[in-house]
């Protein structure tokens, strides 16, 4: 089930499996998924639906989108970026998750976090919040982008393209809004069909959300802030919590290079971390089922 719920005064999209917001938890545990950027949880529906089935529906799963990355029909309810940049930057997105947990997940419910990309950074920040950190049982971090993002190959490419020519991309998206929806969907399908990804109507619909001018501006605003703020990793925090954390890297990931994986495991003895060449950073484009199987295996191992 998906719905918009008020968080920090802004409608936020939440998708749930097993238990919806406001329902009583039979077991005092749940899984909370925090996406990367774009923070549109619709991209992860196949992954999380598969995970829920593999866990036999025993644990509710909730996915929360980033503030401003999904819009309700009445867009007037969304504060404009120009006068509210603090809501949509990295610190704002962390506070957004804090307020969501405090207001929507009962305090006696234990939380398993799954974070993707910069969702890992946000998840690690949640561990620092006393009333939330003590409720987190485990954290499973997929393609974790929590250190020196601007120094990665993709970070440098981003600076040379999106940051430098954002005005061009923005007005291109504005132009697309004047075209019929079916034609834009056709262009998106052509784009994906020329790449080794699994393209379906769900992917096209979620991409349409990204290419709204107001949403794209917030996505890029967050990305720019990530380049500025995601620097020195908090290894002390990870070491303190290493028995409940799991990190998964890719050998081909240009957001989290192999050197980051090597530095992490070299700095924290006994930390559970894996690296593989089987999946890409944007795993939702072609590996949702496989990643769900991996995560389900980790979760089941830790609940035996």
Instruction: Give pLDDT tens digits for 124-136.
Output: 999 999 999 999 9
Indicate whether 213 belongs to any domain: no
What integer pLDDT is reported at residue 180 of this predicted model?
92
What integer pLDDT is reported at residue 202 of this predicted model?
85
Q: Please identify which of the residues 116, 279, 281, 287 carries the catalytic annotation.
A: 281
27 band by pLDDT with thresholds 50, 70 and 90: confident
Indicate whether 90 belongs to any domain: yes
Integer Cα distance of 224 and 228 in angstroms: 7
73 band by pLDDT with thresholds 50, 70 and 90: confident
What integer pLDDT is reported at residue 245 of this predicted model?
97
**Is 281 annotated in the active site?**
yes
**Is 117 annotated in the active site?**
yes
Please determine, for residue 304, whether its predicted confidence score (pLDDT) is greater than 70: no
What integer pLDDT is reported at residue 298 of this predicted model?
95
157-162 average pLDDT score: 94
Q: Please identify which of the residues 253, 279, 287, 288 carries the catalytic annotation.
A: 253
Beta bridge partners of 259: none
What integer pLDDT is reported at residue 121 of this predicted model?
98
Indicate whether 283 belongs to any domain: yes
Give the model confidence (pLDDT) of 207-239 as tens digits. 999 999 999 999 999 999 999 999 999 999 999
Indicate whether 65 belongs to any domain: yes
167 band by pLDDT with thresholds 50, 70 and 90: very high
For the chain, first and last CA: distance in Å? 29
Count how many Cα atoms sit within 13 Å of the Cα of residue 263 in the half-sphere of its side chain.
12
Which of 61, 73, 72, 121 has the alpha carbon at shortest distance from 97?
121
Indicate whether 236 belongs to any domain: yes
Indicate whether 29 belongs to any domain: yes
What integer pLDDT is reported at residue 77 of this predicted model?
83
What integer pLDDT is reported at residue 224 of this predicted model?
97
Q: Please identify which of the residues 95, 117, 225, 287 carries the catalytic annotation.
A: 117
- Give the CA distances from residue 258 to residues 37, 151, 237, 255, 261, in Å, rounded to whole numbers and listed in that order: 21, 13, 21, 10, 5
User: Does the global pTM surpass 0.75?
Assistant: yes
Per the document, the length of the chain is 304
Q: Which domain range does residue 139 map to? A: 2-149+231-302
Give the model confidence (pLDDT) of 95-117 as tens digits. 999 999 999 999 999 999 999 99
Indicate whether 107 belongs to any domain: yes
Count how many domains the chain has: 1
CATH (domain of 240): 3.40.50.1820
Indicate whether 140 belongs to any domain: yes
Phi-psi region of 160 (alpha: psi -120 to 50; beta: other; left: phi over 0): alpha
């Amino acid at each position: 089930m998906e719905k918009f719920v008020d968080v920090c005064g802004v409608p936020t999209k939440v998708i749930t499996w097993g238990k919806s917001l406001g329902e009583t938890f039979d077991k005092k545990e749940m899984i909370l998924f925090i996406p990367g950027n774009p923070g549109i949880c619709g991209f992860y529906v196949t992954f999380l639906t598969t995970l829920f089935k593999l866990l036999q529906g025993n644990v509710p799963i909730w996915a929360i989108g980033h503030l401003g990355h999904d819009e309700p029909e009445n867009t007037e309810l969304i504060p404009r970026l120009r006068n509210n940049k603090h809501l949509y930057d990295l610190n704002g997105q962390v506070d957004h998750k804090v307020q969501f947990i405090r207001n929507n997940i009962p305090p006696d419910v234990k939380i398993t976090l799954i974070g993707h990309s910069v969702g890992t950074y946000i998840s690690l920040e949640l561990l620092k919040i006393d009333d939330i950190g003590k409720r987190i049982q485990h954290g499973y971090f997929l393609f974790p982008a929590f250190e020196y993002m601007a120094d990665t190959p993709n970070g440098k490419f981003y600076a040379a393209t999106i940051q430098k020519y954002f005005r061009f991309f923005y007005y291109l998206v504005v132009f697309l809004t004047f075209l019929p929806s079916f034609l834009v969907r056709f262009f998106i399908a052509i784009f994906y069909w020329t790449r080794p990804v699994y393209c379906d109507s769900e992917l096209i619909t979620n991409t349409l959300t990204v290419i709204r001018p107001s949403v794209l501006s917030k996505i890029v605003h967050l990305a720019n802030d990530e380049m500025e703020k995601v620097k020195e990793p908090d290894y002390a925090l990870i070491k303190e919590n290493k028995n409940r954390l799991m990190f998964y890297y890719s050998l081909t990931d240009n957001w989290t290079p192999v050197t980051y994986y090597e530095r992490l495991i070299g700095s924290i003895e006994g930390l559970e971390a894996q690296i593989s060449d089987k999946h890409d950073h944007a795993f939702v484009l072609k590996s949702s089922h496989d990643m769900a199987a991996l995560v389900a295996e980790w979760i089941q191992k830790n609940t035996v």
